Amino acid sequence: MKKLLQSLFILVFFAFGAMAQERTITGTVTSQEDGLPVPGATVRVKEIPNLGTQTGANGKFSLRVPANAKTLVITFLSYETKEFAIPSNNVLNAVLSSDSRSLNEVVVTGYGTQSKKELTGAVSSITGEKIQNLPVQTFDKAMQGRAAGVQVTTNSGQPGSGISVRVRGVGTINGSAEPLYIIDGVQVNAGGLSTATTQNVLGAINPNDIESIQILKDAATAGIYGSQAANGVVVVTTKRGKQGKTAVKLSVQQGVNSQINPYELLNSQQYYELRREAVVNRALRLGNPVATAVTNFNTASFGSATVDPTALTTTDWYNEVFRDANFGEYNLSFSGGNEKTKFFISTNFNNTDGVAIASDYKKGGIRGNIDNQISDKLSLEANLSLTYTKSGGPSTNAGFFTNTPFTGALYIPPYNTVYLPDGSYRNGANLRNAQNVNIIQHLNEELRSTKSIQSISNVALNYKPIPGLTLRAFGGIDFADAANYNYRPTTIPIYAPTGGSGSENSLRNFNFNTSATASYAKSINNDHNFSVLGGFEYRSATQEQLGASAQGFPSPLFVLISSASTPLTTTSTFTQYKIASLIGSLKYDYKSKYLFSGSLRYDGSSRFGNDYKFGLFGGVSGGWRISQEEFLKDSKIVSELKLRGSFGVVGTQPTTDFGALALYGSPGSTGAYNGGGSIRPTQLANPELTWEQTQQTGIGLDFGFLNNRITGAIDIYKKKTTKLLLDRALPSNSGFTSIRENGGRLDGKGLDFELTTVNLDLPNGFKWTTTFNIAFFKNKLIELNNGATRIGNTQIVGYPTNILYTFKYAGVNPADGRPMYYDKNENLTYVPVAGVNADDRIIGYGNPKSFGGFGNTFSFKGFSLDVLFQYQYGNSSYLQTAQILEASGMSIENQVTSQLGRWTVPGQITSVPRAYDGYTEPGGYDPTNLSSRYIQEASYIRLKQVNLSYRLPSSLVSKIGLQGVNVFLQGLNLATITNYRGEDPENTGNNLNGYPQPKTISGGITIDL
């Protein structure tokens, strides 16, 4: 070590020994916006790029420079790089202004980094500070509304649950549409960890540890990830230490989540009126005695032959499920280092209660990111993290399940109270028309939890034997161990007959990827700049599960399955895939004016069939920085103008690991006959199964005007996906219903636009910045496999994907109150018929026409106000919840008050059919079946985030010995403008039992010690 130091010293001495005359420059770097010191800024001598230092925590620096040095270059992330002539008095007080859209930003693309200036592909970036202190449990949520062409959808309000991300629309039918996530080089198997509740793998990364998120959108940039890159790549980089005094940062945030409940439910009197009317209408229609029907109804529903509706009390069960829930988030980080070793250490703890009772999320994690310069040629990087997460929460499986919170609560008629007068839960015969489940008791007494330990860590060694050449060895793991637990005690009546039941499931994900790469960069005369990279990568992803369930617990106090009398089932599963790849890339630019970049990947995957085991992917892109040309170089108006073009081929892997093989499986104990185990053929072989292939062509223009006060980018692109993973239906009389194969074609095209403007930048420090992004996307199914023209009713050749297909509701016949539909000839009918060339038709599409975000930042002397809107336009959604809630009293479930507008007298114009017990009138159609009545456009604009922060003046703060104090107040999901009648326009699709997103208000403080 000493020797190394010595040689380093000699080297430095040798390099600068010739310069006899030296002087020391001192000074302070401050920010133009708030006048505060800028710690960690790099101060370099322009003439000798190797010579430099960093400002300390107080923004001060001191640098010994040779006498011939004339200019200092000061750079700092998200500030404009500035050059200063070295003053004769050797004191330089530099003021940096923040870069509205930093073109000097470094972008992490694939296996290297690139300056944004030289970028030829389409990449969206989100800096860590934008998502700092956002009260979200997983960083993927933080991308919402902030990147053009990246659609982020929060499907659930359960804290820490999964979300869906679509980069440049949907280009697949059965493949995964989620992007590839890469965290500090580790390819992460995103998804869920829980079999009991919901837990998102990406929770392993603390959002506050993130330095930047890059989203690689075009196929040429993403092409280096080959068969995994068709849905784009999200590259996350965590923070690293900087040379200088150790910076300690503490942040504390407390807040409250509250429900957003759009439903106004019937009270007991209204419920009785509607239900009785339904029963009477049925009796009249069938010619049965009305009095008997009413008596039967009263007896069945209320337990006595006559009912006085005015004496009924009302309980809003849906609201009973909700509460105002607290959360707290605590972060502490240390970063610093010297010229040899730098570190970033952080710990965090998050404690969030869900707005539904019995749902919560607790997470604690630590991270250590370390860089060490072992010798002048050899350096080490390590990112180590460990996270423990405990999620508890009800099942939010979509569907009509009586024991799930939101569906369960809707079932229960309002005249049932939650508790009996003696304080016990209302149950059994006392709980009427409620599918035997007191959902409040069920939520409180059923135990569901997932406890997981995760690590996403890596180590890399870099060796630079000669200038320009870097050899890199990288190894990373994505590990998760989740213990899932579910217990249903006998105190819940429906579980009493079986003596209570419990299940435990242990899930382990072990994924790793290793790579060896060599990269070489060379500049000839500062005009021709080359860099090449080549390497090998190997990835393995394994998931194993082990589970058991049992029934017959001796008492509700015994909750582990080992205490149950009857073991029921055991499960153990193993699934794995492996990918081996050769990678290569080439970059060239001429005077940073003409840019070229190419990438190649040769991927082999265990998921591919034997006949197509390996595939070649990659792309090329080029750019022309017009603003560097002579005719624009001195333009006062145009500060940046770059034309980009790209073409690439990427892939999507089959979703199942063994999809190409012929398999015999065992259904386990559930498939045993009289105690004897069974096996059965489960899948036919398809040795030709392989990747989906997406070609993407795009052109883009980056621009900056008026000294970059207006910056932005516009991109248009076309996608063509062939070899789609599709199921071919087999005659089910063959014993198999389908086989997965490649075929067909899906085209897409779109436009991404983002714009940042500095609207006001006043000398008094007031600054107003606006960011806006919008994306348009449209796809069209060109062809299916095997000559098919449609897949059910959701995909039809010649139309966009994600079709909502059903009958068109024509409202209520004013004469008799019965629901009517349009038949295929646009005539009215009571009984629509489904089928080929029948009455059902395309009603809408699930994919939005456009979406994006709109944000404003106002700052003034330490105050900063951020307001972000997020919007989506043109997508339709089912309203499955409305199929229960808007049933005009036809069923026992509670209804929303709009159903009081049902048809009652001839001539009445209404869209709500007359009440009819049991749904279907003779010769009619069940009006609660799906029709356009239950489909609605779900466009919305949402005030996603408001953040007001104040940075206390340093003069004040330093008096109490602190470096900086920032207090903030913020709100999430504060308001939404939409016509959508469901819980949440973000949660579309199969949304029955959807857990609505909460409204969040929080306050916090960040202290730099």
Q: Are 398 and 406 in contact (CB under 8 A)?
A: no
| Cα(569)–Cα(589) distance, integer angstroms | 63
Q: Which of 289, 468, 735, 906 forms a contact with other proteins (CB under 8 A)?
A: 735
- Of 249-257, 363-371, 592-600, 725-733, which segment contacts other proteins by CB under 8 A? 725-733
Question: How many residues lie near other proteins (CB under 8 A)?
Answer: 88
- Of 86-94, 571-579, 853-861, 942-950, which segment contacts other proteins by CB under 8 A? 571-579
911 belongs to the binding site for other proteins (CB under 8 A): no
Q: Which of 113, 682, 827, 979 forms a contact with other proteins (CB under 8 A)?
A: 682
Site for other proteins in 821-860 (CB under 8 A): 835-836
For residue 570, the minimal CB distance to other proteins (Å) is: 10
Q: 992: which DSSP letter?
A: T
For residue 888, the minimal CB distance to other proteins (Å) is: 17
7 belongs to the binding site for other proteins (CB under 8 A): no
Element (H, E) at 140: helix 139-142
Binding mask 271-290 for other proteins (x = CB under 8 A): ---------------xx---
Q: Which of 19, 672, 838, 975 forms a contact with other proteins (CB under 8 A)?
A: 672
Cβ neighbours for 403, distance < 8 A, ≥ 6 positions apart: 395, 437, 439, 442, 446, 494
Enter the tokens of residue 877. 């959604």
Residue number with CB closer to other proteins (81 or 296): 296
| Cα(342)–Cα(338) distance, integer angstroms | 6
Q: Which of 24, 526, 670, 955 forms a contact with other proteins (CB under 8 A)?
A: 670
554-562 long-range contacts, CB within 8 A, separation 24+: 555/490, 556/489, 556/490, 556/491, 556/500, 559/447, 559/487, 559/489, 559/502, 560/502, 560/504, 561/502, 561/503, 561/504
Going by their DSSP bridges, the two strands 850-860 and 42-45 should be labelled as unpaired
Q: Which of 538, 705, 858, 950 forms a contact with other proteins (CB under 8 A)?
A: 538
CA 328 to chain centre: 21
399 belongs to the binding site for other proteins (CB under 8 A): no
Q: Are 569 and 548 in contact (CB under 8 A)?
A: yes
Q: Which of 501, 543, 627, 973 forms a contact with other proteins (CB under 8 A)?
A: 501
For residue 510, the minimal CB distance to other proteins (Å) is: 13
CA 205 to chain centre: 13
For residue 193, the minimal CB distance to other proteins (Å) is: 19
| Cα(121)–Cα(460) distance, integer angstroms | 26
Q: Are 647 and 621 in contact (CB under 8 A)?
A: yes
23 belongs to the binding site for other proteins (CB under 8 A): no
Residue number with CB closer to other proteins (675 or 961): 675
Residue number with CB closer to other proteins (68 or 666): 666
- Of 166-174, 185-193, 671-679, 710-718, which segment contacts other proteins by CB under 8 A? 671-679
Please choose, from the candidates 44, 50, 106, 37, the residue with its C-alpha nearest in 3D space to the C-alpha of residue 75.
Answer: 44
Residue number with CB closer to other proteins (211 or 783): 783
Give residue for tokens 């096996």.
679
403 belongs to the binding site for other proteins (CB under 8 A): yes
For residue 433, the minimal CB distance to other proteins (Å) is: 9
Considering Cα of 65, then 69, then 70, then 72, what sign does the dihedral take?
negative
Residue number with CB closer to other proteins (164 or 435): 435
680 belongs to the binding site for other proteins (CB under 8 A): yes
Q: Are 217 and 122 in contact (CB under 8 A)?
A: yes
922 belongs to the binding site for other proteins (CB under 8 A): yes
Site for other proteins in 768-827 (CB under 8 A): none
Site for other proteins in 297-356 (CB under 8 A): 297, 299-301, 303-305
For residue 878, the minimal CB distance to other proteins (Å) is: 20
Please choose, from the candidates 623, 775, 749, 753, the residue with its C-alpha nearest in 3D space to the C-alpha of residue 697.
Answer: 749
Q: Which of 172, 379, 513, 551 forms a contact with other proteins (CB under 8 A)?
A: 551
Please choose, from the candidates 652, 662, 658, the residue with its C-alpha nearest in 3D space to the C-alpha of residue 721.
Answer: 652
Residue number with CB closer to other proteins (400 or 860): 400
- Tell me the C-alpha to C-alpha distance, in Å, between residue 39 and each of 58, 335, 591, 613, 958: 6, 12, 32, 52, 15
Task: Sheet containing 52-54: give its strands across.
Answer: 52-54, 42-45, 71-75, 82-85
For residue 918, the minimal CB distance to other proteins (Å) is: 5
730 belongs to the binding site for other proteins (CB under 8 A): yes
Site for other proteins in 588-617 (CB under 8 A): 604-606, 608, 613-614
Q: Are 618 and 223 in contact (CB under 8 A)?
A: yes
402 belongs to the binding site for other proteins (CB under 8 A): yes
- Of 140-148, 231-239, 628-636, 678-686, which segment contacts other proteins by CB under 8 A? 678-686
| Cα(41)–Cα(30) distance, integer angstroms | 10
Q: How many CA atoms lie within 13 A of 85 on its CB side?
A: 3
- Reported residue count of the chain is 1009
532 belongs to the binding site for other proteins (CB under 8 A): no
Residue number with CB closer to other proteins (296 or 910): 296
Site for other proteins in 620-659 (CB under 8 A): 657-658
CA 809 to chain centre: 35
Enter the tokens of residue 255. 């807040």
Q: What's the Rg (C-alpha) of the chain? A: 32
For residue 915, the minimal CB distance to other proteins (Å) is: 15
- Of 1-9, 136-144, 345-353, 729-737, which segment contacts other proteins by CB under 8 A? 729-737
Please choose, from the candidates 687, 606, 585, the residue with its C-alpha nearest in 3D space to the C-alpha of residue 225.
Answer: 585
| Cα(831)–Cα(828) distance, integer angstroms | 9
DSSP 101-121: T-TT-EEEETTEEEEGGG--S
Q: Which of 36, 250, 418, 580 forms a contact with other proteins (CB under 8 A)?
A: 580
For residue 186, the minimal CB distance to other proteins (Å) is: 19
Residue number with CB closer to other proteins (886 or 893): 893
496 belongs to the binding site for other proteins (CB under 8 A): yes
Q: Which of 399, 554, 665, 798 forms a contact with other proteins (CB under 8 A)?
A: 665
Residue number with CB closer to other proteins (671 or 906): 671
For residue 413, the minimal CB distance to other proteins (Å) is: 13
Site for other proteins in 419-438 (CB under 8 A): 428-429, 432, 435-437
Q: Which of 49, 423, 467, 676 forms a contact with other proteins (CB under 8 A)?
A: 676
Q: Are 944 and 924 in contact (CB under 8 A)?
A: no
For residue 427, the minimal CB distance to other proteins (Å) is: 10
For residue 886, the minimal CB distance to other proteins (Å) is: 17
Q: Are 705 and 734 in contact (CB under 8 A)?
A: no
569 belongs to the binding site for other proteins (CB under 8 A): yes
| Cα(412)–Cα(719) distance, integer angstroms | 48
For residue 276, the minimal CB distance to other proteins (Å) is: 13
518 belongs to the binding site for other proteins (CB under 8 A): no
